[in-house]
């Protein structure tokens, strides 16, 4: 039954996909405790994230993403670009190993050739176009070029004078690369990939850009930014940057290439000199961004035209060098616990908000150990909880004390009973919490980002198959009320 419903869920989510703008998520992997690919995918599923971008072509992730319906953009890391841009057979091998071997089980939709190459690795710029063309030729040879697009994410800093948007143009130093690139994107039906960081624009503007304008918050009319040529009012940095890209392309006579935003986000924590990297601002930015994209508003220059956007990023990456903010762009920590609960109520039912429903039943602090033991005995006996994971040698045996064991039994019972508050009482020695009590390989029912349908979870830490430090991936959230409903039914079937 559960399997049937799962299939139904996937079928329906397939139907509702993708002519409209969608939200995806980038998956960076610079974490000391990087979750295993199966845990990453479980988190994606729990959050209904349907689109992701990986910063490499990690084989473990590509396998874990198979048959999930999740659409995946993979990347040629900058470190591999020189090889691929100089040899069509290297490119063909790359496509064969990372795409042909996984498609169609894993729904790969695009290849990002390098990442901000012009600004991050300018000496590879001369081979960038060839790299894109070689990858594309290999896709053509495998008859996959219609399904899988080739592009390269650009930093928005290649656009100069981006306000007013109508006067924006690409840094002319790069025209020799950008003109053939735009021709390539146009002739292959691909899109311009752009990374947009209003956080940095705001930080670098020395007070010229109001914080609210960066955060999509309402501005008084006299504070709105007006394009003096078009008289268009801009209410946020994001739209102005996308329009600047349209104008910059038009300046080179390319008027029909869509834009997709490959990275955007806001850090939730920063150094003393980054006072606006806060939980509240990160929440405002990402919540407003999601609402803006899913509302299909488009931009003033192209109203109603979808600008799908990948949020940077899924996990906080604690190993990232640089200021504190660098480590705090994530929506989740390594345990799959949300860093903040997105404020998405007005956009309908986006499951990221559903983390508020992520509750657990634990032994109350300071409860009398004898009463805990009695409640534990009841749960594992008359309560019919499967307490075998608490046996010696099993994942939840350690720590071997009554509080930990009771917590496991209480939480399992609570979920079995459909999380009704009465199921978490146990004569007053239990209480409901939103903190996931899972530890090590002991996964509690209800745990996000983990496989909670079974207690036999082995969770090896991920040894990435690639050696690239900034390995990353992405997903997308796109939810309908029906999906939420089916998900609830699905869960209740599993737990009843």
The footprint of ligand NAG (CB under 6 A) covers 14, 17-18, 42, 71, 88-89, 92, 104, 107, 122, 137, 160, 171, 173, 252-253, 291, 295, 297, 341, 343, 345-346, 349, 353-354, 356-357, 394, 419, 451, 453-454, 456, 460, 463, 484
Angle at which helices 481-495 and 2-16 pack, to 10 degrees?
Answer: 170
Nearer to ligand NAG by Cβ, of 367 and 387: the residue is 387
Nearer to ligand NAG by Cβ, of 269 and 343: the residue is 343
For residue 325, the minimal CB distance to ligand NAG (Å) is: 23
Do the bridges between strand 225-226 and strand 233-234 make them parallel or antiparallel, or are there none, so unpaired? antiparallel
The active-site residue out of 263, 313, 317, 326 is 263
Do the bridges between strand 472-477 and strand 430-433 make them parallel or antiparallel, or are there none, so unpaired? unpaired
Nearer to ligand NAG by Cβ, of 116 and 326: the residue is 116
Question: DSSP characters for 207-252?
Answer: TSS-HHHHTT----GGGSEE-TTT--EE--HHHHHHHHHHHHHHHT
For residue 441, the minimal CB distance to ligand NAG (Å) is: 10
Nearer to ligand NAG by Cβ, of 131 and 372: the residue is 131
For residue 341, the minimal CB distance to ligand NAG (Å) is: 5
Nearer to ligand NAG by Cβ, of 328 and 347: the residue is 347
Nearest Cα to Cα of residue 106 among 194, 22, 44, 189: 44
Nearer to ligand NAG by Cβ, of 349 and 433: the residue is 349
For residue 184, the minimal CB distance to ligand NAG (Å) is: 16
Nearer to ligand NAG by Cβ, of 20 and 368: the residue is 20
| Closest residue to ligand NAG in the complex (CB) | 104
Nearer to ligand NAG by Cβ, of 373 and 453: the residue is 453
The active-site residue out of 116, 313, 317, 326 is 116
Nearer to ligand NAG by Cβ, of 303 and 366: the residue is 303
Nearest Cα to Cα of residue 30 among 282, 278, 290, 312: 312
Q: Which residue has the tokens 């901000």?
A: 116
d(CA 347, CA 321): 35
d(CA 25, CA 429): 40
Examine the residue annotation and report whether 224 is marked as an active-site residue of this protein.
Answer: no
Show Cβ contacts of residue 485 under 8 Å, excluding neighbours closer than 6 positions: none
275 is written with which tokens? 């006072």
Do the bridges between strand 309-311 and strand 360-363 make them parallel or antiparallel, or are there none, so unpaired? unpaired
d(CA 26, CA 309): 10
d(CA 116, CA 119): 6
Q: How many residues does the chain have?
A: 496
Contact assessment for residue 217 and residue 202, using Cβ atoms and an 8 Å cutoff:
no
Q: How many CA atoms lie within 13 A of 369 on its CB side?
A: 4
Examine the residue annotation and report whether 263 is marked as an active-site residue of this protein.
Answer: yes
What's the angle, vertex CA 292, arms to CA 287 and CA 297, rounded to 5?
A: 175
The secondary structure of residue 123, as a DSSP letter, is G
For residue 362, the minimal CB distance to ligand NAG (Å) is: 18
Q: Which regions of 231-357 does DSSP assign to beta strands (E)?
A: 233-234, 259-264, 309-311
For residue 424, the minimal CB distance to ligand NAG (Å) is: 13
Maximal C-alpha separation, the chain: 78
For residue 55, the minimal CB distance to ligand NAG (Å) is: 19
For residue 47, the minimal CB distance to ligand NAG (Å) is: 12
Coil, helix or strand at residue 439? strand
Query: Which contiguous run of DSSP H or E holds residue 183?
Result: helix 175-187
For residue 456, the minimal CB distance to ligand NAG (Å) is: 4
Q: Can you state the percent helix, strand and coil of the chain, rounding each to 5?
A: 40, 15, 45
Point out the residues that are catalytic: 116, 263
């Amino acid at each position: 039954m559960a399997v049937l419903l799962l299939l139904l869920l996937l079928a329906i989510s397939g139907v509702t996909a993708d002519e409209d703008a969608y939200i995806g998520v980038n998956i960076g992997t610079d974490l000391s405790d990087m979750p295993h690919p199966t845990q990453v995918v479980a988190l994606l599923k729990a959050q209904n994230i349907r689109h992701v971008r990986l910063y490499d072509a990690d084989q473990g992730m590509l396998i874990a993403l198979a048959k999930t319906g999740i659409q995946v953009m993979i990347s040629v890391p900058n470190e591999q670009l020189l090889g691929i841009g100089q040899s069509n057979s290297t490119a063909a091998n790359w496509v064969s190993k990372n795409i042909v071997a996984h498609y169609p089980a894993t729904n790969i939709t695009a290849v990002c050739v390098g990442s901000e190459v012009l600004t991050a690795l300018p000496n590879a710029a001369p081979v960038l176009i060839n790299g894109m063309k070689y990858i594309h030729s290999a896709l053509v040879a495998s008859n996959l070029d219609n399904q899988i697009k080739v592009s390269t994410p650009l930093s928005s800093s290649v656009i100069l004078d981006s306000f007013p948007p109508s006067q924006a143009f690409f840094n002319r130093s790069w025209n020799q690369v950008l003109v053939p690139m735009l021709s390539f994107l146009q002739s292959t039906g691909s899109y311009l990939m752009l990374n947009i960081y209003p956080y940095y624009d705001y930080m670098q503007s020395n007070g010229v850009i109001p914080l609210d304008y960066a955060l999509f918050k309402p501005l008084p009319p006299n504070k709105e930014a007006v394009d003096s040529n078009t008289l268009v009012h801009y209410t946020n940095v994001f739209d102005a940057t996308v329009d600047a890209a349209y104008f910059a392309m038009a300046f080179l006579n390319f008027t029909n290439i869509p834009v997709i935003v490959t990275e955007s986000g806001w850090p939730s924590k920063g150094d003393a000199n980054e006072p606006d990297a806060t939980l509240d601002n990160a929440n405002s930015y990402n919540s407003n961004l999601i609402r803006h994209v899913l509302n299909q508003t488009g931009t003033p220059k192209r109203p109603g035209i979808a600008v799908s956007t990948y949020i940077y990023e899924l996990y906080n990456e604690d190993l990232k060098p640089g200021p504190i903010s660098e480590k705090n762009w994530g929506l989740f920590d390594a345990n799959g616990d949300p860093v903040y609960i997105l404020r998405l109520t007005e956009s309908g039912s986006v499951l990221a908000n559903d983390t508020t429903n992520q509750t657990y039943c634990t032994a109350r602090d300071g409860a009398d150990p004898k009463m805990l033991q009695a409640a534990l005995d009841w749960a594992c006996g008359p309560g019919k909880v499967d307490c075998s994971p608490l046996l010696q040698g099993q994942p939840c045996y350690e720590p071997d004390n009554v509080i930990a064991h009771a917590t496991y039994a209480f939480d399992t019972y609570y979920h079995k009973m459909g999380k009704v508050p009465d199921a978490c009482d146990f004569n007053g020695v239990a209480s409901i919490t939103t903190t996931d009590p899972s530890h090590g390989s002991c996964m509690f029912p209800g745990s996000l980002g983990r496989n909670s349908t079974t207690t036999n979870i082995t969770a090896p830490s991920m040894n990435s198959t690639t050696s690239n430090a900034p390995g990353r991936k992405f997903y997308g959230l796109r939810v309908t009320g029906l999906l939420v409903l089916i998900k609830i039914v699905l869960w209740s079937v599993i737990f009843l």
